[in-house]
A and B are shown apart, each in its own frame.
Chain A
Amino acid sequence: AQTVTQSQPEMSVQEAETVTLSCTYDTSESDYYLFWYKQPPSRQMILVIRQEAYKQQNATENRFSVNFQKAAKSFSLKISDSQLGDAAMYFCAYRRHFIIQGAQKLVFGQGTRLTINP
């Protein structure tokens, strides 16, 4: 079974600075998807960024970028120019390739609570 581990229960950063959230995962498969989701205090989970395992290039979405190290099974999220609105729980998630049985579910890590200090 696949597992996702986020070893940082809490992180804090000064507004406008850069922060990196860590995520490691365990799988025996070679084709899969990785995601970072944000869950603000209102509790709705929002997709931040997505990475396909077959792509070597790291995904970027504006101030958000990932460092995907497939051999090390590591998938960290970097937030540049942190803003007060970035404060939330961040979850790393894994999903098997869509053609595989049971591919539809996301496997989540425990989450990292990010605080932005003004």
Chain B
Amino acid sequence: DTGVSQDPRHKITKRGQNVTFRCDPISEHNRLYWYRQTLGQGPEFLTYFQNEAQLEKSRLLSDRFSAERPKGSFSTLEIQRTEQGDSAMYLCASSPMRESSGNTIYFGEGSWLTVV
């Protein structure tokens, strides 16, 4: 079990550019989540996948944000036309489907985005 992997770990981009983050969940985890965390705050839910289906999206996820999980394995989060307010850490998490897991969600180390 290698844990949830995120790439890149840090990204600095100019305002208006597009950025993409990748998340590789723990193998065999059907559920995948994206959260956003700003300094001094708790994470905020962005979106949730069950296999390849995106089942829930937060109102925080504006039209400039899009997430995919095409084959039900890794996921990407793309931010188009970045704004300074997008600067945050983007956390990916995964969990298994089976109830016996006790609903534990496992987090990655996050991808830091700085928009200058």
Contact = CB atoms under 8 A, between A and B. Distances in A.
Contact of A108 (B40, B43, B58, B110): B43
Interface in A57-115: 91, 93, 95, 98, 102, 104-111
B85 interface: no
B43 A45 contact: yes
B97 to A, nearest CB: 10
Given A43-B109, A43-B110, A104 B43 contact: no
Contact of B42 (A50, A104, A105, A111): A111
B72 interface: no
Nearest to B108: A44
Contacts of A4: 42
Interface residues of B, number: 27
A91 B80 CA distance: 30
Contact of A104 (B56, B102, B109): B56
Interface string B13-39: 000000000000000000101010000
Nearest to B45: A105
10 contacts: A33-B103, A42-B109, A44-B110, A47-B106, A50-B104, A91-B43, A104-B50, A106-B45, A110-B40, A110-B41
Interface of A: 4, 33, 37, 42-47, 50, 91, 93, 95, 98, 102, 104-111
Interface of B: 31, 33, 35, 40-45, 48, 50, 55-56, 58, 89, 91, 93, 99, 102-110
